[in-house]
Structure 1
Amino acid sequence: MTSPDARVRIPREIWVLIASAFVIALGFGLITPVLPQFAQSFGVGATASSIVVSAFAFMRLCFAPAGGRLIARLGERPIYLSGLVIVALSTGATAFAGSYWQLLVFRGLGGIGSVMFTVSAMALIVRLAPPSVRARVSSVYASAFLIGGVGGPAVGGLLGGLGLRVPFIVYAVALLLAATIVFVFLKDASLRPKPGDPVLPVMTVRDGWADSAYRAAVASGFTNGWANFGVRNAILPLFAAAVIVDSSLDQSTRETQQALVAGAALAVFAAGNAVGLTFAGRTSDKVGRKPYVIGGLVVSGVATAATGLATNLPTLIVLSVVAGLGAGSLNPAQQAALADIVGRERNGGPALAAFQMSMDTGAIIGPVVAGMLVDRGSYSLAFALTGLITVLAVLPWLRARETHPVRERVPDPA
């Protein structure tokens, strides 16, 4: 096992990004339980409401190449801030959507800003994180998202009882707060190479594709986007509303219960995710990346497939926690593997953007396919297919190389 130096500290710039990530996730969690129901309030079915979730990822995918070029030209900080402001404005507009099509357009526009701040943050973390603590940095950064994600859905479920539009207004304010944090605390930070510094060679997508670990990461990224960023956010709230909540309740009480149940299921998934992240982030730097990626995919896939069989809230809660543990074990090891592949001696922008695009592609296709299966089949079929696709992502990792050097721990003479 490798023994990372515990004295290596996470850079200040990354802590600023971590604080911002917490605020972003807290706000995003507010709208997740109510977005599918908000779409259905315009008289559409499961497929159309899922398309609203996919539209966000679709715009991220379309704008990813342009976002990478803007970062190279203008720098990470301006693009990060601009992305947050764009999402804030689009989310605020979403709150006042008067039709399904307005909702679709406003939510889709937010994807442009989302990819701007996501790729900016990823590029900074890869470049600024010391090699010996990459998984720890990935874990802490992702945990900030998930801790915010634990509280966000629960609060969003409560706010949903005040009206389906209220969480969107609160989220817009949270994004402006995150932009303020980054603007104030990174105002004087030097985030770009100094003039005269050597230009790092670029790692192209072709370079990455020649690496078995990169190919495996692209595959698991696609399934992670499909299952955990797409189907879970788009279908789980509808599943909770249709199967878990008593349909005999009056409309007002039923809508409140639906928001609360969906918020609880998403919150405990995020809580399980946070636990998995913490454990995998601490130990992946010691024992390698592959065990956590493979184990996380299997656990998450099986629990997701079983979710469609839940008939009561306790069962849904347990399966959500287990699926969260699996996804949490996967993510820091996968991100650390990408950092290992790129290294600090190369500019990994194109390769990292392609990986992000694979996740967004999964988040686009997954909800649409699952929504069609719900409309024409059943929720259990949609979750079963999602779980199967997640487990199948194990196959390329079985043949992939281990990116982190694993060796015997040398005893401390002291």
Structure 2
Amino acid sequence: MFLVMVGFGIIIPVLPFYAEELGGSPTELGLLMAVYSLMQLIFSPVWGRISDKIGRKPVMLVGIAGLAISFFLMAGANSMWTLFAARIIGGLLSSANMPTTMAYVADITTPENRSKGMGIIGAAVGLGFVFGPAIGGIFSKTSLSLPFTIAGSLSILTFILVALLLKESSSKDSRASQTQKNASFYSALKGSSGNLYFLQFFISLSLAGLEATFAYFAATKAGLDTVSLGYIFMIMGLAGAVVQGGMIGPLTKKYGEGKVIQGGILVSAIGFALILLVDNFITAAIFLSIFGIGNGVIRPSVSSILTKTVTSGHGSVTGFLSSFDSLGRILGPPLGGLLYSISIGLPYISGAILSIIALILYQFYRSKQEKLSL
């Protein structure tokens, strides 16, 4: 996942300028970003269920191959429709990566170490986003298409490593039993665990709104430029990765996933409130890192609970979770932009409110679980 996300991150700072070079408008760029998340929303559960049926490794290979194809298509694009085709193919196939990787972790970890495993995946994703954009920015100075070629080559390397080194995590017997237990989307939401899916949606919605508006907010409030913002997001990513990779395991063993989720949501809400006080580089880095630390522990803990308590296959569960994550990322940027146009602090006030809603949803989940255990 680290190599996958480095490849994905490489293109982030380059894509807007690449699309502009091909004659794309800001509206088309927005659609180019949205169509990828839309494919993830639709197909993450599909790939999760397929991995329950045929195994994790072949589905991972499909996802990584899809990334390689999309990156090379983008590298050779000569029109906007080629970019759109590449993003659609990439989103459709690469949506296999995250749910299948999380299902793989669920397969090979004991319940008490589940959150630790999910946290390591989260740390790998975070570090990929730290290093990827930096690499993309450096190589874009040579050519705007070069970062896409590098990302495609990195995907091929990842494909080879997975094909040669990764062992299948599920047995034929477990695949057969999980296939029989696969839940429908409706039944997954109807149970007590439905609250956890919506919790993840609100967390992703608030995060996406922040990501879409913080550059404007920091420039207005503190006069920060794109270089400073790059460093700030790097610091935030490193802080989140350290907590996910090194602290989630001990925290969940000591306090349990539920308290970690509640603590993470509260820290996120505090982070949102503190962001309103940003007035220079240091306060931006500290306050955004506080938010990142809180936000970073939530998804691994939610993933851990779901894979331990839901009766359907791990791939089906993690696929549903990825869909809700994608839905938040689709709706978050336009909502954040709309709120920012009303008042520049509104995306962060609403982020704190959404965090409180997520906390209430967890309380509903816990009360339902307590009733079921009686």
Q: Normalising by the residue count of structure 2, what TM-score does the alignment of the two structures yield?
A: 0.83
Paired AA for residue 251 in structure 2: T
Residues 134, 285 of structure 1: 8 Å contact kept: no
8 Å Cα contact 2:210-2:336 kept in structure 1: no
Gaps of 5+ in 1: 1-20, 247-256, 406-414
Cα distance in 1 between the residues matched to 2:18 and 2:267 = 31
Offset at residue 378 of structure 1 (A): 5.3
Instruction: Identify the match of residue 148 of structure 1 among 128, 135, 139.
Output: 128
Q: Which residue of 2 aligns with 1:324?
A: 292
Structure 1 segment 196-235 matched on structure 2, within 5 A: 199-200=177-178, 201-204=180-183, 205=185, 208-209=188-189, 211-212=191-192, 214-228=193-207, 230-235=208-213
Q: Which amino acid aligns with 1:222?
A: F
Cα RMSD between the aligned structures? 3.3
Q: 1:234, CA displacement in angstroms?
A: 4.2
- Structure 1 residue 35 displacement after superposition: 3.8
Instruction: Tell me if the contact between 2:236 and 2:288 (Cα under 8 Å) persists in the aligned partners.
Output: yes
Determine whether 1:44 maps to 2:25. yes
Counterpart Cα distance in 1 of 2:203 and 2:229: 20
CA contact (8 A) 2:203 2:354 kept: no
The answer to whether the 8 A contact 1:289-1:337 is kept is yes
Which residue number in structure 2 is paired with residue 60 of structure 1?
A: 40
Q: Take 1:183 and 1:28, find their aligned partners in 2: how far apart are those partners?
A: 20
Show the counterpart of 2:268.
300
AA at the equivalent of 2:254: K
C-alpha deviation, 1:353, in angstroms:
2.4
- Work out which of the residue numbers 241, 265, 271 in structure 1 matches 2:238: 271
Amino acid at match of 1:320: L
* Residue number in structure 2 paired with 1:337: 305
Determine if contact 1:220/1:393 at 8 Å carries over to the other structure: yes
Deviation at 1:85, TM superposition (A): 1.2
Paired residues of 2:251 and 2:260 also in contact (CA < 8 A): no
Q: Tell me, what secondary structure is at the counterpart of 2:252?
A: helix
Distance 2:281 2:142 in 1: 23
Per-residue deviation, 1:32: 3.0
2: CA distance, partners of 1:68 / 1:136: 21
Provide the rounded CA distance (Å) in 1 between the counterparts of 2:174 and 2:240. 43
**Counterpart selection for 1:287 from 217, 232, 255:** 255
Amino acid at match of 1:273: G
Encode CA deviations 1:2-34: one digit per residue, 9 max, x unaligned.
xxxxxxxxxxxxxxxxxxx12112222323344
Work out the percentage of aligned pairs sharing the same amino acid.
24
| 8 Å contact kept, 2:269–2:351 | yes
How many angstroms apart in 1 are the aligned matches of 2:277 and 2:29? 22
Shift of residue 140 of structure 1? Answer: 1.9
The 1:66–1:398 alpha-carbon spacing in structure 2 relative to 1, beyond 3 Å, is closer
**Amino acid aligned to 1:394:** L
Q: Partner of 1:136: helix, strand, or coil?
A: helix
1:356 corresponds to which residue? Answer: 322
CA deviation map 1:337-386 (0-9, x unaligned): 1122136xx52443432222111111111123223445x44553334434
Unmatched tracts of structure 2, length 5 or more = none
1:399 aligned to 2:364? yes
- What amino acid does structure 1 have at the position aligned with 2:159? A
Aligned-partner Cα distance in 2 for 1:380–1:266 = 19
Map Cα deviations across residues 136-159 of structure 1 (whole Å, 9 max, x no partner).
111222222223333233333434
- Cα separation, 1, equivalents of 2:34 and 2:5: 18
**Structure 2 CA distance, aligned partners of 1:295 and 1:355?**
20
Deviations 1:300-355 (A, max 9, x none): 23424554664543332222211211112223222211122136xx5244343222
Q: Is residue 23 from structure 1 mapped to residue 3 from structure 2 by the alignment? A: yes
Pair 1:125-2:105 in alignment: yes
Give the TM-score taking structure 1 as reference length: 0.76
Pair 1:106-2:91 in alignment: no
Please give the alpha-carbon distance, in whole angstroms, between the structure 1 residues aligned to 2:49 and 2:188: 19
Q: Distance in 2 between matches of 1:156 and 1:197?
A: 39
CA distance in 2, matches of 1:108, 1:166: 21
Once the two structures are superposed, the pairs formed by residues 361-400 of structure 1 within 5 Å of their partners are 361-374=327-340, 376-377=341-342, 379-400=344-365
- Pair 1:130–1:29, CA change in 2 (3 A): same
Further displaced range: 362-371 or 89-98: 89-98
2-side partners of 1:23 and 1:380: how far apart? 35
- Matched-pair contact (CA < 8 Å) for 1:373–1:379: yes
Residue type of the alignment partner of 2:73: A
Distance, in Å, in 1 between the alignment partners of 2:255 and 2:113 is: 13
Contact 2:240 2:289 in 1 (8 A): yes
Deviates more, 1:354-363 or 1:219-228: 219-228
How many angstroms does 1:397 deviate by?
0.9
For 2:304, give the aligned amino acid: A
8 Å CA contact 1:95, 1:169 repeated in 2: yes
Alpha-carbon distance in structure 2 between the residues aligned to 1:368 and 1:23? 29
Q: Hey, what does 1:4 align to over in structure 2?
A: none
How far 1:88 sits from its partner (Å)?
A: 1.7
* Aligned counterparts of 1:245 and 1:64: Cα–Cα separation in 2: 39
Equivalence map 1:128-207=2 (5 Å): 128-186=108-166, 189-194=167-172, 199-200=177-178, 201-204=180-183, 205=185
3-state SS of paired residue (1:32): coil
Higher helix share: 2
Q: Once the two structures are superposed, what CA deviation does each residue of 1:260-286 show, in whole Å capped at 9, x if it has no partner?
A: 334323212211211331222322123
Larger mean Cα displacement after TM superposition, 107-116 or 298-307:
298-307
2:65 to 73, 85, 108: 85
The structural deviation recorded for 1:223 is: 2.1
